[in-house]
Amino acid sequence: MTTLSLQSGVHLINRRDGFIQIGIHPESSVLVPEAAAPLLALLTGRHSRNEIIRQLSTEHFNNHEVNTLLDLLVTNNLVRVIADSSLRESVGDVHRINNVRANTSSSLTSDQRLTTEVSIYGAGRLGTLVALMLSSHGFARLRVFDSRPVTLADVSSWGASRVDVGLRRDQVVATILTRMHKDISLRSLHTTAESSHRIAIICPDQPAEWPWFDPSSADHFMSAGVPHLLAGATSTCAAISSVITPEDSSCLRCHYHALTDRDPQWPIVSLQLSNRPSQDLAPTPLLMSSALEVVSRVELWSTTEVGRESSWTYVRWPGLGREEKAWGFHPGCGCQWSSQLAA
């Protein structure tokens, strides 16, 4: 049912000249005669346009006048049209995005989401957002790893709040997840059974104004044969990798070697970055965009055979423009040696 309600912040103001003023915006506020008070009283979000007209017609209002006035109020953005009363209860942007997406998945894909084991390393603002979005997309086997304490920089509208400062980051995320999804128990957050379909998402805190990843941060997953994806967002840019499949895709160290080919001093630069404290200065829309990118890649990976070529997607701030940059195997990296020996 479509209902009408005054916009939030728009007030009815009684004037002394026999008029009621709706809103104070100098270009869009409207004056109506005091006789229109019964109409204004119905703009609470509980009545549709037809109901308002029906109730008022008993009090000798002209239907045409009522319609004209309502049109004017909607056009001037003083009254909003609420399409579906159930939507009013959704909490935030994350929920809203997920409401749309969760309704579009088939049962086949939701089965795969239930059995896919996703481990998230790094529960800063980006890692937390990725965890919340994945859980809302039906990925029930989530584990989050980050033993660092929550600081004020981690506080966000979707994640940690001020009262969480000082607590372990991964515990805070686990608490939020169980609050959001009553059906998720802490046990499913910490699955013990080995799943054949595993993926690791690495979301390290960023120390600079451009995304940087410690070349050793994916070593463990390379040696364990676990497909993994890296994502990081800074004040100017976010970088999201494709899903790197050990032995099939060129690895993070291949990329590091390629950067060193371009700048022989890169190892020294990179080493210094690893000692810098991180600073989370990423703008919220950039984080949202990055998290959606991560989620869509994990979804695609969980349901279909995806390409094995490794690439970065860079999302620039402001503007959210995207560019894709692929990287290949580097002869100096050992990640291909085992498959070459086998062949």
Counting contacts by CB under 5 A, is residue 333 touching Zn ion? Answer: yes
335 binds Zn ion (CB under 5 A): yes
Cβ proximity to Zn ion, 70 vs 251, nearer residue? 251
Q: How far is the CB of 341 from Zn ion (least distance, A)?
A: 15
Q: In angstroms, what is the minimal distance from the CB of 226 to Zn ion?
A: 15
Interface with Zn ion includes 244 (CB under 5 A)? no
| Binding of Zn ion by 253 (CB under 5 A) | yes
The distance of closest approach from Cβ of residue 340 to Zn ion in the complex, given in angstroms and rounded to an integer, is: 12
Tell me the window of 98-106, 142-150, 191-199, 245-253 that interacts with Zn ion (CB under 5 A): 245-253
129 binds Zn ion per the rule CB under 5 A? no
Q: How far is the CB of 329 from Zn ion (least distance, A)?
A: 6
Q: Quick one: which of 199, 254, 282, 287 contacts Zn ion (CB under 5 A)? A: 254
Identity of the residue, 30 or 335, whose beta carbon is nearer to Zn ion in the bound complex: 335
**What is d(CA 71, CA 79) in angstroms, rounded to the nearest whole number?**
9
C-beta of residue 127 within 8 angstroms of C-beta of residue 146:
yes
Give the binding-site size for Zn ion (rule: CB under 5 A).
5
Each residue 160-199 as x (binds Zn ion by CB under 5 A) or -, in order, gives ----------------------------------------
- Choices 5-13, 31-39, 204-212, 330-338; region in contact with Zn ion by CB under 5 A: 330-338
Binding segment toward Zn ion, per CB under 5 A, in 92-100, 166-174, 180-188, 334-342: 334-342
SS (H, E, C) the chain: CCEEEECCCCCEEECCCCEEEECCCCCCCEEEEHHHHHHHCCCEEEECHHHHHHHHHCCCCCHHHHHHHHHHHHHCCCEEEECCHHHHHCCCHHHHHHHHHHCCCCHHHHHHHHHCEEEEECCCHHHHHHHHHHHHCCCCEEEEECCCECCHHHCCCCCCCHHHCCCEHHHHHHHHHHHHCCCCCHHHHCCCCCCCCEEEEECCCCCCCCCCCCCCCCHHHHHHCCCEEEEEECCCEEEEECCECCCCCCCHHHHHHHHHHHCCCHHHHHHHHHCCCCCCCCCHHHHHHHHHHHHHHHHHHHHCCCCCCEEEEEEECCCCCEEEEEECCCCCCHHHHHHHHHC
Range in contact with Zn ion (rule: CB under 5 A) among 12-20, 223-231, 297-305, 327-335: 327-335
Is 98 or 250 the residue whose CB approaches Zn ion more closely?
250
Asked if 270 contacts 221 with a C-beta cutoff of 8 angstroms, the reply is no
- In the complex, minimum distance from the CB of residue 116 to Zn ion, in angstroms, rounded to a whole number: 25
Span of 122-130, 190-198, 208-216, 325-333 interacting with Zn ion by CB under 5 A: 325-333
Q: Kindly list the distances between the CA atom of residue 239 and the CA atoms of 102, 142, 154, 209, in Å, as whole numbers in the listed order.
A: 26, 22, 19, 12
- Residue from 251, 288, 291, 294 in contact with Zn ion (CB under 5 A): 251
If the CB atoms of residues 56 and 251 are measured against Zn ion, the closer one turns out to be 251
Q: Smaller CB distance to Zn ion: residue 267 or 283?
A: 267
The tokens for 35 are 């006789």
- Binding segment toward Zn ion, per CB under 5 A, in 64-72, 212-220, 307-315, 329-337: 329-337
**Residue 319's closest CA among 281, 279, 283?**
283
User: Which region, judged by CB under 5 A, interacts with Zn ion, from 116-124, 134-142, 286-294, 328-336?
Assistant: 328-336
Nearer to Zn ion, 22 or 218 (CB): 218
CA angle 338, 342, 343 (to 5 degrees): 120
Which residues would be at the binding site for Zn ion (CB under 5 A)?
251, 253-254, 333, 335
